[in-house]
Amino acid sequence: MTDDLAALDAASAAELIRKREVSCVGLTRACLRAIERSRENVNAFIAVWPEQAIASAERADQELAAGRPRGALHGIPIAWKDVLFRKGAVTTVGSRICRDLQPQITATILERLAQAGAIFVGALNLSEMIMSPTGRNAHYGDCRNPWNKAHITGGSSSGSAAALAARLVPLTIGSDTGGSIRIPAALCGVTGLKPTYGLISRFGCFPRAWSLDVLGPMARSAQDCAMLAAAIAGFDERDPTSARLPLPAYDVDGAQLRGARIAVPYGEHRFDLDPAVKAALEASVEQLADAGATIVPVKLPSFERYYVPANVINKAEGSAIHSHWLRTRRQDYSPAVVTRLEAGYHIPATHYLDALRARSRLLREFVKSTMNNADALHFPVVGIAAPSIAEAGREDAERQPEFLRAMTGFTRWVNYLGLPALSLPCGFTSTGLPVGFQLVGRPFSERKLLRIGHAYQHVTEWHLRAPAWLKKSYPMAPVMPPSTGRTAPVMKAASSEASHRIGQAISSGVAPGGDTVADREKGDLKIPGLSI
Amino acid sequence: MGLTPEQVAAYAKEQQRLDLDARRALEIAAELESLAAGVFAAGAPHAGEDPADFLATLLELRERDD
């Protein structure tokens, strides 16, 4: 058993566990070792629970031996953004104020993960009080982008994305109020789903702005996001905004792009995009078309109509949530958070109510016009690649409003309309930083988005790439030769065949393609099902 | 507890931007008045004011095959 296991994707790991070719304890120990090694240079975790995790993994192995697997995530290590309440455990929300907060309830989403058999390994770093798209944190240290540790991860679900990119765990949970799943997913080269408002229970989750907040799955692939979504979605009577509706099976097997209709606004609209980001986005549209999707040009409404009221709601509700602490413990917030919170007290109640009242009407108008003839809207996530930590540090100064808008301008409107959106990696800048795009869908069309995302990842390899420094961490991992082209039609998503080859490779130390360790020293590493 | 000059500057700038946001929000509200008229006529002047109403709209607009 080697630490290579920590780099397994969830679908492959689950299959190997089911076949008893990998033990839950072995997989969990590998993840814990990877987490420990990354502590100083990535800083993705706020808390790690090795004893509890190993004990849970031992129980999971015993249950499997007794023929009693719990569910689809049996034995799979998982970590979550530190905003979820677990009875008896501390939930810091990335803040000094909640450093000792010990909730007396457990979040519904955690109960469902436990029922599905997931192994809880730790709580992940985030922006203080879920309040910045940079992912920086003055209290627990900045989370660093695994692709370049001098750069930010994006936020606020910084640790959730970095832990995946650094191959510390195969699955994480993030939250998204204005882009907090999609932004770090794009800047770290991983996959993240912002679900429809109401699909996933928020009971037991610390709020940022209750009218906009959602929790969602993050992973390295759409397939793994689908697996996680299936475990956590669904009605919860403890969440008054939980949707009561029959859930589809979030299966992605056999998904194809042929027949999918993708609305694309490019050409019609001028977005403020870095040239490298623009090139990667355009290439992703071509890849979707080449693989059979129908591209539907669309004219978009002014996004000011959605961004402005989203901002009003975000600020007003955020300030209301923090009123008491802002009066009594102001000094325990970082200055940037205080600045943002205080702004909310100057929003007239009428504007807040107008913003809420306009919402359903604007949603209806958007779905019936822009989305009328399409399954998904192709859209940027962030117009730039991950800024350096030094650049993002200027967030504290007067540049803050412009910087926040630059970071969230493409994502916040989606939360206002409550729509689902899947962030997918689609390339790299010349300096090796990831670029992503999002597919925005109609209400509760997560299954369709995940299937389109899976089909896109079936013909591309961006989601399989890993930072070069990981080669040293997983020297025995099976790998594929570096890619020579933009697309790789031969690359198939994780499957039973891939898992079989991975199992063989783990035993032999030889890559499925016959590569040796020396071969792996060349360039980025990638293999379906084992993405390091 | 005083604010630093940087905080004051950031705060003032944010206020200026919020004012623009607020004006735009009012414009949006004005645009919606005609739509709202239908809601009032239907006897549901409260529609869309809370998350539960918004959730109902999301459910109404979902595709049945999803």
* Tens digits of residue pLDDT in A1-14: 456 899 999 999 99
Residues A132, A138, A143, CA angle at the centre, nearest 5°? 70
CB contact under 8 A, A304 and B24: yes
Q: Which residue of chain B has the CA closest to A248?
A: B66
For A488: left if phi > 0, alpha if psi spans -120 to 50, otherwise beta; the answer is: beta
Averaged pLDDT, A380-401: 80
pLDDT bracket for residue A403 (50, 70, 90): confident
Residues of A in Cβ contact (< 8 Å) with B31: 305
Q: Shortest CB distance from A442 goes to which of B9, B35, B61?
A: B61
Active site residue A221: no
Q: Any idea which of A29-33, A121-125, A184-188, B55-59 has the lowest mean pLDDT? A: B55-59
In three-state form (DSSP H/G/I as H, E/B as E, the rest C), the secondary structure along A232-252 is HECCCCCCCCCCCCCCCCCCC
Structure tokens at A89: 């455990």
Those of residues 91-110 in A touching chain B at CB distance below 8 A are none
**pLDDT > 50? residue A497:** no
- Whether A343 sits inside 8 A of B55 (CB atoms) is no
Categorize the per-residue pLDDT at B3 as very low, low, confident or very high, splitting at 50, 70 and 90. low
Q: Is the pLDDT of residue A501 over 50?
A: no
pLDDT tens digits for range B15-51: 666 666 666 666 665 655 544 444 444 455 555 567 7
Backbone φ and ψ for A438, nearest 5 degrees, come out as: -120, 150
Identify the active-site residue in A38, A56, A81, A158. A81
pLDDT of residue A491: 29
Region A442-447: mean pLDDT is 97
For chain B, say whether A447 makes contact (Cβ under 8 Å): yes
In the predicted model, what is the mean pLDDT of chain A? 86
Residue with the bigger pLDDT between A327 and A454: it is A454
A472 is catalytic: no
Examine the pLDDT at A450 and tell me if it is beyond 90. yes
Partner residue opposite A448 with nearest CB, options B6, B36, B66: B66
**How far is residue A342's CA from residue A350's CA, in Å, rounded to a whole number?**
18
Q: Please answer whether residues A440 and A420 qualify as being in contact, where contact means their C-beta atoms are separated by less than 8 angstroms.
A: yes
Six token digits for residue A315: 């600020």
Say whether pLDDT at A122 is over 80: yes
User: What is the mean pLDDT of the segment spanning A122-147?
Assistant: 95
- Angstroms from A389 CA to nearest CA on chain B: 19
| Amino acid residing at A397 | A
**Residue A429 confidence (pLDDT) above 80:** yes
**Cβ–Cβ under 8 Å, residues A27 and A8:** yes
Identify the pLDDT of residue B48. 53
Percent of chain A with pLDDT over 70: 86
| C-alpha radius of gyration, chain B, whole number | 19
Average pLDDT over residues A388-403: 72
Contact B7 A338 (CB under 8 A): yes
Record the tokens describing residue A509, joined without a space.
């130390």
Q: Which of A196, A305, A400 sits opposite B10 (nearest CB)?
A: A400
Contact yes or no for A342/A333 (Cβ under 8 A): no
Rounded percentage of chain A residues whose pLDDT exceeds 90: 71
What part of A 245-274 touches B (C-beta under 8 Å)? 245, 248
B1, B4, B66: residue with CB nearest A331:
B1
CB-facing half-sphere around the CA of A69: CA atoms within 13 A = 15
Residue A345 pLDDT level (bands cut at 50, 70, 90): confident
CB neighbourhood size of A72 (10 A): 18
Partners of residue A445 in chain B, C-beta under 8 Å: 62-63, 66
When pLDDT is cut at 50, 70 and 90, the band that residue A116 belongs to is very high
A393 in B contact zone (CB under 8 Å): no
| pTM to 2 decimal places | 0.85
Which pair of tokens denotes residue A443? 């209400």
* Residues A315-341: tens digit of each pLDDT: 999 999 998 898 899 999 998 899 888
Q: Are A453 and A460 in contact (CB under 8 A)?
A: no
* Contacts A359 to B, Cβ<8 Å: 48, 54, 57
User: Is 60 exceeded by the pLDDT of residue A259?
Assistant: yes
- Is domain A77-302+361-470 classified as CATH 3.90.870.10? no
pLDDT of A357 over the 90 cut? no
Q: Is the pLDDT of residue A243 over 70?
A: yes
- How confident is the model at residue A399, as a pLDDT? 65
Length of chain B: 66
- pLDDT in the model for residue B29: 59
Helix (H) or strand (E) holding A349: helix A349-369
Is the minimum CB–CB distance between A210 and chain B shorter than 8 Å?
Answer: yes
Determine the distance in angstroms separating the CA of A392 from the nearest CA of chain B, rounded to an integer.
15
pLDDT at A266: 65
The residue with tokens 């779905």 is: A367
Torsion sign across C-alpha atoms A163, A165, A167, A169: positive
Q: Which band of pLDDT confidence, cut at 50, 70 and 90, is reported for residue A526?
A: very low
* Cβ neighbours of residue A275 closer than 8 Å, sequence gap 6 or more: none
User: Rounded to an integer, what distance in angstroms lies between the CA atom of residue B50 and that of residue A494?
Assistant: 42
Which tokens belong to A231?
């475990």
Q: Please judge whether A442 and B63 are an interchain contact, meaning their C-beta atoms are less than 8 angstroms apart.
A: yes
Question: Which tokens sit at B14?
Answer: 């944010």
Q: A473 an active-site residue?
A: no
Q: Where are the domains of chain B?
A: 5-61
Cβ-Cβ contacts under 8 Å, B58 against chain A: 196-198, 243, 363, 418, 443-444
pLDDT band at A305 (very low <50, low <70, confident <90, very high): confident
Instruction: From chain B, pick out residues whose CB is under 8 angstroms from the CB of A447.
Output: 66
- A468: nearest Cα among A525, A423, A410, A394: A525
Q: Would you say A129 and A404 are in contact if contact means Cβ atoms under 8 Å apart?
A: no
| Backbone CA torsion sign across B8, B12, B17, B23 | positive
Cβ contact (<8 Å) for B22 and A347? Answer: yes
> β-pairing, A191-194 with A421-428?
antiparallel
pLDDT at residue B5 in the model: 72
CB A89 within 8 A of CB A46: no
